[in-house]
Chain A
Amino acid sequence: MKLTTEEQSILGGGRGEAAKRALEYQLEVGRFWGAKRFVPVTNVHMMGDIEVMGDGGLAWLKEEAGRGARCVVGTTTNARCMDFAHCERMGQDAGEAVKEKELIATLRRMDVVTTDTCINYQTVYQPHLGEHVAWGDTGTVIYANSVFGARSNFEAGPAALAAALTGRTPEYGFHLDEHRKGTFAVELKARLDDLADWGAVGKLVGESHQNYYAVPVFHGYRRAPGADELKHLGAALASYGSMGMFHFVGVTPEAPSTLPSERMVVSDPDLDLVYRKYNLGDGDARLVVFSGPQQSLFEMKYLASLFKDRKVKAGGTCIVTTNSAILRQSRDLGYAKTLEDAGVTILEGVCFYILQNLSPMREKNRWTNMVSNSAKIVNIIGAHRFNTILRRSADCVEIACSGVLK
């Protein structure tokens, strides 16, 4: 890779040992992908919590902090694995909570802004067209590339942190024009009235085109989609298809004026089939989750309207996750009270999928099924041995309150 004078200086230790090690690591990743140079980044979003990092990751992080690791660009954190106010009741380990607090303190020492959100693009930072960033999780990356026209690859925790320390990332993948072109067209004939429907589209399109560099071009939809709809679409495309970008004609800034030759169509019967295909297992309807991604303010408002004057069925658990800013606003606006009066548990700063101790939690509660309106979370939670079922938002609420799975 061709290095600037500044990069050569970093490699020579001019910015300290931690930045040097970070750039050496980035060079290896860049070489693998055939990057010719680095590009400066203006913002970093990183995943780092004790559930994903483990003891090894925490030990490494503390070493780097000790070596003087400091962020040189604005750096935020993704959703984490514990809401300390709820961890005892959720059956999470006290010992891991101590480590998680230590981890957060270490990140702050490195100048990381611990926002604990996977919807940074809705609540914290909105990059502009052409802006290079280094983001993860995948849902944030596909939103940045597609909706904002910013440029990011999927940056795993260590890779994002390296970018934060050096202020740059190897130029490959979605930083380059050649990978940002649509590769196949998807005509949206379906009505898509619920957020779960948008996730189901992501499932159908992602599963059939599993490739980081597959870029679908959506067209033909009857109206302009909203931010939460694009969020569920993108999160599902990234999850099922490992995709990092999509276009939406008339909506996203880099959508092409000519459609690629490969075509597919998504219509209402296709979506009906998605919902019908879920195996209902033993019919267990005691766990309903609204998470992955965290809920926006408008999702909180909508859920509050659905749960108003209703109660989660005795013995059941309904979990909603969001970030601290949205939760504060939801409290001010009364949405949180409505949800909590209905027996819903609101967790702050976490995602259900990465909750520490999730498998033992499942066993202790004898949960077999997990019902959600998020196509992403029903896909990614398999290793914890949940049987997962995607349902529309209002159906999820009905299932939570009636205890009947349909």
Chain B
Amino acid sequence: MNITVNRAFGPAVEGEAVVSEEGFSPRYDLDRWTGVITKPGHKLEGTSIVDKICFFPTAKGGIAAGWAFYDIKWKKIAPRAFIFGVTNPVMVQGAVFAGIPITEGWSPHPRDAVRTGDWVRVDPARKIIEVLKRKS
């Protein structure tokens, strides 16, 4: 099943999906030296987002996030794409600045279409996300 998105930036990429039920901020939730989500109690606490295609329902807070994407790209611990249900300008400004694909809005909801560990392809030009291979 494919997911269509409303807005999108960046080149097409493939990677392993990480699907979160909780929103995300690279400043509030992420250890920016390892790429692991470290905020105590976050639903993905302990999960690495390095080289992943990350699905987050919402974006949280912070202007500082705008530099954080470039910073983690520079450190080679960035995800391959950010897929947001609802995002905010900072996430988009930061992702565009870092050249990381980002999308907003989804149909159907990822919970009905993709699971953590599935291999997916994000195509911003076509505004579509395809599940290429299910996690075995």
Interface residues of A (CB under 8 A from B): 25, 28-29, 31-34, 47-48, 52-57, 60, 78, 136-138, 141, 153-159, 172-173, 210-212, 238-240, 242, 244, 354, 379-380, 382-383, 385, 387
* Segment of B12-20, B63-71, B107-115, B128-136 engaged in the interface with chain A: B63-71
12 A–B contacts from the bound complex (CB under 8 Å): A29-B96, A32-B9, A33-B92, A47-B66, A53-B70, A54-B67, A78-B63, A155-B93, A156-B90, A158-B94, A159-B66, A242-B88
Assembly CA distance A239 to B28 (angstroms)? 10
**Chain B interfacial residues counted at CB < 8 A:** 44
Taking CB atoms and an 8 Å cut-off, the chain B residues in 74-105 that contact chain A are 74-75, 86-90, 92-94, 96-97, 102, 104
A202 CB to closest chain B CB (Å) equals 12
Q: Known: A32-B92, A159-B89. Is A48-B67 also a contact (CB below 8 A)?
A: yes
The residue of chain B having its C-beta at the shortest distance from the C-beta of A210 within the complex is: B58
Q: A28-B9, A57-B71, A136-B90 are in contact. Are A385 and B40 (CB under 8 A)?
A: yes
Q: How far is the CA of A48 from the CA of B75 in the complex (A)?
A: 18
CB distance A52 to B30 under 8 Å?
A: no
B65 near A382 with CB under 8 A, answer no
Give the complex CA separation of A47 and B9 in angstroms.
23
Nearest to A376 among chain B residues (CB) is B61
Nearest B residue to A141, CB-CB:
B63
B61 touches A239 (CB 8 A): yes
Q: Which A residues are in CB contact (< 8 Å) with B39? A: 382-383
Q: For B66, what are the chain A residues with a Cβ–Cβ distance below 8 Å? A: 47, 136, 155-159
With A155-B89, A158-B93 known as contacts, the answer to whether A53 contacts B71 (CB < 8 A) is: yes
B71 partner residues in chain A, CB cutoff 8 A: 52-54, 56-57
Q: Are A52 and B96 in contact (CB under 8 A)?
A: no
Bound-complex Cα distance A62 to B86 (A) = 34
